[in-house]
Amino acid sequence: MLTIKDFKTAFNSLLRAKGYVFTIVITLGVTLGALVAMFNLNYQLLAAPLPYPDQDRLYIVKGNAYKNGQLAFADVNSYPALVESYKDKENFFVQKALITVDQDIIRSLPDTPQVNTSFITPEYLKLLQAPMQLGRNFNDGEGLGARSAVIVISYNTWLKVYKQDPDILNKTLQFGEVSFKIIGVTAQYFIEPQFDGVGRMTDVWLPWDYSVAGEHTQHSWTRLKSGQHLVVKLKAGAQPNTLETILTKKLNARFEAERSNDSFFRDLTIGVTFIGYQEAILGDIAGRVLLLLAGALALLLIAAVNVTNLILARVSNQQRNMAIQAALGAQKTHLFNGLLAEILIVILLAAGLAWVVSLVGVELLKHFTYKQLPRVAELHLSWQSLLFTLIMGLSLAFAFSFLVSHQINYRSLNNLLQSGSKGAGLHISTKIRNLLILGQVTFTAVLLAASLHILQQSLQHIRQPLGFSTDDIYRVSLNMGAQTSSPYEARKNNLLTISNEFRTHPKIANLSVMSDDPINSVGLYDYLSATPDYQQREKTLLSLIDHQYVNVLNMKLLAGRNFTADEFKLGSQSILINDAFARKLQNDGQVLNKRFYWQNGGAGKDIYQVVGILRDLSLPNVKEEPRMFMSQVPDHNVQFLLQLKPHQNITKQELNELLGHVNGQYKVAEITPMTYSHQVLLTQDILSASLTAVLTLLALGLAAIGIYGVLSYSVQLRRFEFGIRMAVGARPILIFVTVLKDNLAPVFLGLLVAAALVGLWLWMQQTNYNMETNLLGWLLPPMLILSLTAATSLLSAWHIIRKPASEVLRGD
């Protein structure tokens, strides 16, 4: 049984070994902290219940369309199918609600902020029992068909847009042409289920009635749209499979009766799938987060092996004390208790640090992964995590003590005092020690090779020129409000006038009107063909641009010319294409001035002439797609590229004022610097680069501690031998060289095993790993590990080679 005296003795002993304590606390603190953070994440995602009442009975009903029995469109619904399901009087569910999401601008505010909107029926927030910060939720009188102009805003909107105005209730804000009265603010701790993209948070909740514009859509059973859902709460004991069958049958009967005679829909059927909230929110995240947990566990195990070595080295140093205790009658248990007390103190400190590290880890996860991992906003260190930390800490302490005490040969300890200071009480064979080093080196080298490879790729992406300018260029998205439904010609004229208005602003150097920029493509695809029969057609991204687009972005023409101002104003049969598309149209890419047939989305077969070929762009992580540009004012999704004069900024208010000169309906939805778009594109790379840099340092640190642990233990065992060598004339440098030589064999073997593993992995992946460009990636890991071995050899031999030989021989 451990006594306070054991702890006091252990504490005093540890006070004299600050380096030892520091190393173990840091090693275990960081790795255990990482494991606790990952455990917490896994618990939150895979085990913790959703923060909604009866969460296991909440389901999202996803619509699917099947053609000839095969899934043709997933997660799509027609408006009338949804509404009929919602209105259905059959008593299948406790509650039902509708939801669809969008984006809009708040027109009543001068900076017209763009917000995420969710259109819902009143039951939606009730299903979630959404807590309110201020005001109330929608009531039944504000449901389907009531067209009540009331809204609920999120806590975040109240904070950011209204600066926590306490009198916010009953104030109005305008979307489109409707002014809505604010009736409530959701509570700060309310967390909505994120069905439509991880990290997407609703800013404003509006009544469902305002979700759809067209009359036709409201009655068309064949207009299938994604992103609109029926959500339900099942009755206790109800089987979702049974309900799926019933609902599918009902909806298909209606669909059959209502679908048009179009041949496309003739063999189309629809159906529904009930997906639990948990599954709908988490998706297939389980595998990924479990992998993270396994990674953290592997790191802790490596750290544990390293710490075992350090403890063994320390125990080896303390053998004489143990021998004296044994000679005085100490039982094995006494020695074990002494060890356990020391280890418990160190582990307790490490667990404290681990708790801090996991707190930081959780905050980092919340900050950096809220767009990648669902439910991270709910993360907090729970009692389960605290319990996990304690269990892991205690398990480690007992495991270390058990392992080390089993390495102590109690009988040999009794002989130790008689046989001088050579020591025989604790011994781990050279083979095991070499295996430990080999394992460390192999693991570290593989990890370093992989990390450096990723790091190199990420850095290459970060430094890679895009092929166009982003400096001082801003993308301005336009919200056209009611103008969306005005005739194209009127909109076109308005947009040309707006261009002229913008041009008068002293901060603007140049501008372009367009459908999308090279980074933020809306993904509009079309086809070109060399023959009118369209037998061979080539797919391409299509962008509608003006004659300034190429100039503003400083894109390079490989051949031909840019559009002219007249071609843009009057419309022309000219196109610009990129090199990738030119080579698709014709192998040699020599298609300048050639004519091709454009299908125009199936509307016709116009002939267009290639007037210019642009150099391909180099977007990071994206293979350059074939691109085609037409000189045309976009019909929808109108955006401007503004090139500002150096060191200038422009606000929404300034642009809205100019827009007001043309038509009050036009408002700026968003101004995004192109440099920011570039940064977003690089997020993955920046994250990868940072993570791999940290991982590389951690791997190196762990390897250093691990190798040092083994070496210092080995050197400790050979201390007497080194003393003899020094007595007969070995200089300190020769002792160091002896230590280094002995260590290099397992290190080289480890490097060979690592190279074989990396080679095997590359072979299995069939990766085109370029030896030439990644030479540094190949050379750096062995160089780092060899330097590390030299440094740790020096460090472990340091306490011998800096002492006079007499002290080494005495074992001081």
Partner 1 sequence: MRELTLNMTGITKVYSTEDMDTHALRGIDLEIYKGDFVSICGPSGCGKSTLLSLLGLLDMPTTGQYFIEGKDVSQLNLSEAAFIRNEKIGFIFQSFNLIDELSVFDNVALPLRYRRHKVSEKDIERKVLECLQVVDMTHRAQHKPNQLSGGQQQRIAIARALVGSPALLLVDEPTGNLDSRNGDAVMEMLQQLNANGTTLCMVTHDPRYADMASRKLHLLDGKIIDTQTLQTGETLQVVV
CA distance 150 to 137: 10
Our CB check for partner 1 shows the closer of 393 and 723 to be: 723
Our CB check for partner 1 shows the closer of 17 and 752 to be: 17
Among 732, 748, 762, 798, binds partner 1 (CB under 8 A): 732
At residue 168, the 3 state secondary structure works out as: coil
Among 734, 737, 752, 762, binds partner 1 (CB under 8 A): 734
- Distance of closest approach, residue 714 Cβ to partner 1, in angstroms: 12
Our CB check for partner 1 shows the closer of 228 and 743 to be: 743
Our CB check for partner 1 shows the closer of 1 and 728 to be: 728
CA distance 501 to 655: 9
- Distance of closest approach, residue 763 Cβ to partner 1, in angstroms: 41
Contact region for partner 1 (CB under 8 A) — 205-213, 243-251, 432-440, 802-810? 802-810
Our CB check for partner 1 shows the closer of 299 and 809 to be: 809
Comparing CA positions, the residue from 261, 227, 212 lying closest to residue 80 is 212
Query: What is the number of alpha carbons within 13 Å of residue 213 lying toward its C-beta?
Result: 9
Evaluate whether 689 touches 459 at the Cβ level (below 8 Å): yes
Question: Phi, psi at residue 520, to the nearest 5°?
Answer: -100, 70
- Distance of closest approach, residue 372 Cβ to partner 1, in angstroms: 55
Evaluate whether 699 touches 444 at the Cβ level (below 8 Å): yes
Residue with tokens 């009544």: 207
| Pairing assessment for the beta strands 525-529 and 595-598 based on DSSP bridges | antiparallel
Question: Phi, psi at residue 8, to the nearest 5°?
Answer: -60, -45
Our CB check for partner 1 shows the closer of 589 and 723 to be: 723
Binding mask 90-119 for partner 1 (x = CB under 8 A): ------------------------------
Number of residues forming the site for partner 1 (CB under 8 A): 22
Binding mask 328-367 for partner 1 (x = CB under 8 A): ----------------------------------------
Our CB check for partner 1 shows the closer of 108 and 419 to be: 419
Scanning 631-673, the segments in alpha helix (DSSP H) are 652-662
Q: Which amino acid is at 373?
A: L
- Distance of closest approach, residue 282 Cβ to partner 1, in angstroms: 59
- Distance of closest approach, residue 718 Cβ to partner 1, in angstroms: 9
Neighbours of 21 (CB within 10 A): 17
CA distance 348 to 454: 36
Kindly state the tokens that stand for 488: 């194209």
Residue 796: C-alpha distances to residues 456, 594, 707 (Å): 33, 74, 10
- Distance of closest approach, residue 323 Cβ to partner 1, in angstroms: 17
- Distance of closest approach, residue 320 Cβ to partner 1, in angstroms: 16
Evaluate whether 271 touches 64 at the Cβ level (below 8 Å): yes
- Distance of closest approach, residue 730 Cβ to partner 1, in angstroms: 5
Residue with tokens 């505010």: 109
Among 733, 765, 768, 771, binds partner 1 (CB under 8 A): 733
At residue 284, the 3 state secondary structure works out as: coil
Binding mask 692-731 for partner 1 (x = CB under 8 A): ----------------------------xx-xxxxxxxxx
Our CB check for partner 1 shows the closer of 20 and 736 to be: 736
745 binds partner 1 (CB under 8 A): no
- Distance of closest approach, residue 736 Cβ to partner 1, in angstroms: 11
Residue 723: C-alpha distances to residues 230, 428, 620, 715, 735 (Å): 81, 21, 59, 11, 10
At residue 319, the 3 state secondary structure works out as: helix
Our CB check for partner 1 shows the closer of 354 and 805 to be: 805
Neighbours of 679 (CB within 10 A): 13
- Distance of closest approach, residue 355 Cβ to partner 1, in angstroms: 35
**Residue 636 buriedness (CB in 10 A; 0-12 / 13-18 / 19+):** exposed
CA distance 743 to 763: 30
Which residues on neighbouring strands pair with residue 672, listed in sequence order? 475
Contact region for partner 1 (CB under 8 A) — 98-106, 167-175, 350-358, 801-809? 801-809
Our CB check for partner 1 shows the closer of 185 and 726 to be: 726
CA distance 306 to 329: 32
Contact residues for 53 (Cβ-Cβ < 8 A; gap 6+): 129
- Distance of closest approach, residue 721 Cβ to partner 1, in angstroms: 5
15 binds partner 1 (CB under 8 A): no
The C-alpha angle with vertex 117 and arms to 112 and 121, in degrees rounded to 5, equals: 140
Among 53, 197, 420, 660, binds partner 1 (CB under 8 A): 420
Our CB check for partner 1 shows the closer of 500 and 806 to be: 806
- Distance of closest approach, residue 16 Cβ to partner 1, in angstroms: 11
Among 110, 664, 759, 804, binds partner 1 (CB under 8 A): 804
Neighbours of 263 (CB within 10 A): 7
Our CB check for partner 1 shows the closer of 453 and 725 to be: 725
- Distance of closest approach, residue 790 Cβ to partner 1, in angstroms: 19
Our CB check for partner 1 shows the closer of 401 and 738 to be: 738
- Distance of closest approach, residue 786 Cβ to partner 1, in angstroms: 25
At residue 617, the 3 state secondary structure works out as: coil
Contact region for partner 1 (CB under 8 A) — 71-79, 106-114, 755-763, 803-811? 803-811
801 binds partner 1 (CB under 8 A): yes
CA distance 560 to 571: 19
At residue 657, the 3 state secondary structure works out as: helix
Among 72, 169, 807, 811, binds partner 1 (CB under 8 A): 807
Our CB check for partner 1 shows the closer of 63 and 723 to be: 723
Window 197-256: residues binding partner 1 (CB under 8 A): none
The strand ranges marked E within 76-149 are: 76-78, 93-105, 114-120, 132-135
- Distance of closest approach, residue 424 Cβ to partner 1, in angstroms: 11
Evaluate whether 334 touches 427 at the Cβ level (below 8 Å): no
CA distance 190 to 501: 44
At residue 179, the 3 state secondary structure works out as: strand
Residue with tokens 């913790």: 48
Contact region for partner 1 (CB under 8 A) — 639-647, 695-703, 732-740, 778-786? 732-740
CA distance 306 to 700: 12
Window 444-463: residues binding partner 1 (CB under 8 A): none
Window 179-198: residues binding partner 1 (CB under 8 A): none
- Distance of closest approach, residue 735 Cβ to partner 1, in angstroms: 9
**Binding interface with partner 1 (CB under 8 A):** 420, 720-721, 723-734, 801-802, 804-807, 809
